[in-house]
Structure 1
Amino acid sequence: MDINIFTCLTLGLIMAPASRGVNAGNEQATFVQDRFAIGFWVDPPADDHMNQHYADIAAANFTLVIGGFGARTPETIQKQIELCETYGLKAIVSRAGLPPDQLPEGSAVWGYSIRDEPNARDFPGLRQTVDKIRRARPGRLAYINLFPNYANEQQLGTQTYEEHVRRFVEEVGVDVLSMDHYPMMKPDADSRSRYCSNLEVMRTYSLQQAIPFWNFFN
């Protein structure tokens, strides 16, 4: 993913039925999205101005902070959580190398960042991580973001993009389907058709699994 603090996240919220509250395999509470989420990829620096950073985020009507670039230590992550609670924000925080049973909690914590743009060969290991977090932190999201449909076969680890997404939802079993896609909208370079095709694949499998899908875009 191109790291751009102004890259926003729009989230297509699909209301999941109550049966998604429990994972049939593990009998563990799964993540339930309770609001439309508007966020960005790079969280603010963990510096002396953190309070102002988070006040500005809330004032701009963002609802979600995704950590991993600014707050990366247990101490700064805890400060991030407290500020999100203060300003009515939700957070997906960095794991900071902590085991699942030591991951931070709090009313603002939606979940934990796990992986960005995995290859299909990584799916078995990701499933293990997701299951461990579900057991240790029921109701929290193990967040993984996928490639867009213009990724190549070597990046995806599959012959087609649809196969990549299908295998991901089947093999990893996540509670949110997420990808980043940056369409071009210029007269001489318009990729909106490919972007809409990407959204169609996400919608198909999010409906199939009864989970929300999220999309980073420019």
Structure 2
Amino acid sequence: MFLFVSGYCQKIPIVGYFGIPEQNISVDNYRVMKDAGFSISLMNFSNLNNALNALDAAQKVGIKLILFFPQLHSEPQISIPKIKNHPALYGYFIGDEPFPSDFNNFVKYLDIIKTYDDTHKFYINLNPMYASKERFDGIGYEDYISQAINKLPFSFVSFDHYPLVDNKIRKEFYENLEIINRQSKKYHKSFWAFACSTIHFDYLKPELAGIKLQQFGNLLYGAQGLQYFTYWTMTSDPNWIKDNYSYSIVDDKGQPTPTYNIVKTVNEQVQRLAWVFSGARSDAVYHTGKNIPQGTQKLISIPEQFSLFSTKGKNALISCMSNNGKKFVIVQNKSLDEDMVLEYQLKKNIKKVNNTSGKLIELHNATKYKDLILPGDILIFAYNN
């Protein structure tokens, strides 16, 4: 029998990258963040006192911080003992998008922090596949990821890949997820992934289908933490204004933008389904449709639990996952603007997961079903291992 506990105990960590700036630290601002479904704010601070103020405010609403401030480098023996026992400290920000030539310096810095605190998380965010070749110091992308995981003692693999450019999916997106998933498994690490949640460069205004496509795509490849770039709208630097940073989750005064409710909706859905994804392993991922992404596998035969399983040629992602003695077949509609119908019939005892409640729905083997999947959304089937 299936066991489902309403309210789910497990949760997916959700990070607001470039969270609440030090000049805007307040309990109210962290509460707004919490209400959108965030559990972690990632932010740099100019000094220890501001970091402590942020930790105190965040603690009052149940937010944790990944942080950096200069004294972590200059006076670790003084600064780390003052924060390491704070209940709101999640971990230390070590660096973003390093070159391979940076790895040794990162290791030295990590070793210093570990001298004073070896219990919290260490956060390093890696480059995406589409970064310029110069960022990889002459090695291939998969070798870059492999070396990073092998050399850097971070707590989990984090990488950013913003796949929606001019409202089209980058050709490298799914290959990037394949590589991260493969290398994370090789080294027995979990990985966390991003969605782009702000206008900048050629990234357009965030929409519901696009956020779902990114975050559920991450989860179907096995991500164990989700991140958003950015939470706060970045306007404190003239270059950010020039690059048109806007429509992030909150504006530069902390007021929710239209993106706020979109992200809140997705985060709430993710947590309703956390019993599926938290701790899950992505066993195999396939793609359907006319254009199979580079570096991925085409679905050749239908899952064995079904006698009929058809996306009618539409672009879809099919993930076979396992978690806590259960198996899942999950279908994602990869279109940003068109609904998809999955036609299916069962030949084994399978249940469907309700996206609204996260609860299980009985299905009948004799029935042919046609289920609508909205753009970017998913349909989950569950059965006993």
Whether the TM-score (by the shorter chain) exceeds 0.5 is yes
**Which residue, 51, 64, 71 being the options, matches 2:40?**
64
Look up the match of 2:229.
Answer: none
Conserved 8 A contact 1:120-1:158: no
Give secondary structure in 2 for the equivalent of 1:91.
strand
Conserved 8 A contact 2:157-2:190: yes
Tell me by how many angstroms 1:186 deviates.
5.7
Give the TM-score, by structure 1 length.
0.76
Aligned positions of 1:127-146 closer than 5 A? 127-146=107-126
Higher share in helix: 1
What RMSD over aligned residues (CA atoms) do the two structures have, in Å?
Answer: 2.0
Tell me by how many angstroms 1:72 deviates.
2.8
Conserved 8 A contact 1:158-1:164: no
Give secondary structure in 2 for the equivalent of 1:151.
coil
Q: Which amino acid aligns with 1:110?
A: Y
Look up the match of 2:60.
Answer: 86
CA distance in 1 between partners of 2:152 and 2:105 (Å):
9
Give secondary structure in 2 for the equivalent of 1:72.
coil
**Which residue, 10, 26, 31 being the options, matches 1:50?**
26
Matched, 1:202 2:176: no
Conserved 8 A contact 1:58-1:87: yes
CA distance in 1 between partners of 2:123 and 2:40 (Å):
13
> Relative CO higher for 1 or 2, CA cutoff 8 Å, sep ≥ 6?
1
Larger radius of gyration: 2
Conserved 8 A contact 2:25-2:53: no
Aligned positions of 1:30-179 closer than 5 A? 35-47=11-23, 50-68=26-44, 71-98=45-72, 99-101=75-77, 102-103=79-80, 104-105=83-84, 106-179=86-159
CA distance in 2 between partners of 1:209 and 1:35 (Å):
23
Q: Deviations over 1:103-161 (max 9, x none)?
A: 22211211111111110001111111122222320111221111100012211224211
* Aligned residue-pair number: 181
CA distance in 2 between partners of 1:48 and 1:39 (Å):
18
Tell me by how many angstroms 1:185 deviates.
6.3
Task: Extract structure 1 runs of 4+ deviating beyond 3 A.
Answer: none
Give the TM-score, by structure 2 length.
0.44
Give secondary structure in 2 for the equivalent of 1:182.
coil
Tell me by how many angstroms 1:65 deviates.
0.5
- Do the aligned partners of residues 49 and 83 (structure 1) sit closer, same or farther apart at CA in structure 2, a change above 3 Å counting? closer
Give secondary structure in 2 for the equivalent of 1:93.
strand
Matched, 1:216 2:194: yes
Matched, 1:190 2:166: no
Higher share in strand: 2
Give secondary structure in 1 for the equivalent of 2:38.
coil
Q: Which amino acid aligns with 1:76?
A: N
Q: Deviations over 1:55-104 (max 9, x none)?
A: 10111111110011xx4321111011112211111210113333333222
Look up the match of 1:14.
Answer: none
- Do the aligned partners of residues 87 and 127 (structure 1) sit closer, same or farther apart at CA in structure 2, a change above 3 Å counting? same
Give secondary structure in 2 for the equivalent of 1:47.
helix
- Do the aligned partners of residues 190 and 121 (structure 1) sit closer, same or farther apart at CA in structure 2, a change above 3 Å counting? same
CA distance in 2 between partners of 1:173 and 1:152 (Å):
25
Tell me by how many angstroms 1:210 deviates.
2.1
Tell me by how many angstroms 1:209 deviates.
2.3
CA distance in 2 between partners of 1:135 and 1:157 (Å):
30
CA distance in 2 between partners of 1:48 and 1:36 (Å):
26
CA distance in 1 between partners of 2:192 and 2:95 (Å):
15
Question: Percent same amino acid at aligned positions?
Answer: 23
Conserved 8 A contact 2:14-2:39: yes
